[in-house]
Structure formats: C-alpha cells, structure tokens
Amino acid sequence: MPPGTRVTVTTDPRLDAMDEYGRVRGYPATTDVRDVALHLIEAGLVEAWVPSGEPKPTRRATYTSAQKTARQSRTGSWATCSRVGR
C-alpha cells in the first residue's frame, strides 16, 4: 500500500480483539480494498489459516472458498507451489 493509506481494522465478534502476545486481531481494510485478507487470498498470495485451538472466525468459510478457487485456478503462488505460506 502506498504511504499514507488509511487502514481500518474490524474485529471479529467470535474472537478476542487481542492475541496472547498483545497483537490486534481483526480484518484490515482500506478505502480501495474492502477486505485486505480476502484480496490477498484471492490473488493466491496467502493461505487461509486458523490455529486449531481457536474459535472459527466469522469469515472463515469465505476465505476457505476463495482459497479453493485460487488454488484450483492456479492463481498467484498456487501456479508453482502446493502450499502458500506456513
């Protein structure tokens, strides 16, 4: 994102707003990109992932579906990798 881009973070009602290390947990958005995480998943640049011990985030199904589509169409890193991230 260009310097000066305004980013807002919406927390998930199913999750604590902060993780155990004091980091904010939420969904980043800009005026140009409504859901930054979804945008990155659809572009095949990141993997949708949730720690196994956590509650399921509200947007998990949307993210999982977007990842499946990106993977099947070999979008972004999926063109050359069997795993993105982790």
How much is the average pLDDT of 26-33? 93
The reported pTM is 0.85
d(CA 61, CA 50): 11
The rounded mean pLDDT for the chain is 90
Other beta carbons within 10 Å of 15: 16
What are the angstrom distances between the C-alpha of 11 and each of 21, 52, 53, 56, 79? 16, 19, 18, 13, 32
The residue behind tokens 């579906």 is 65
Mean pLDDT of the region 43-66 = 90
Q: Is the Cα dihedral 56, 12, 51, 1 positive or negative?
A: positive
Could you tell me the domains of the chain?
7-77 (2.40.50.90)
In this structure, of 27-31, 35-39, 50-54, 68-72, the range with the lowest mean pLDDT score is 50-54
- C-alpha 21/C-alpha 23 separation (Å) is 6
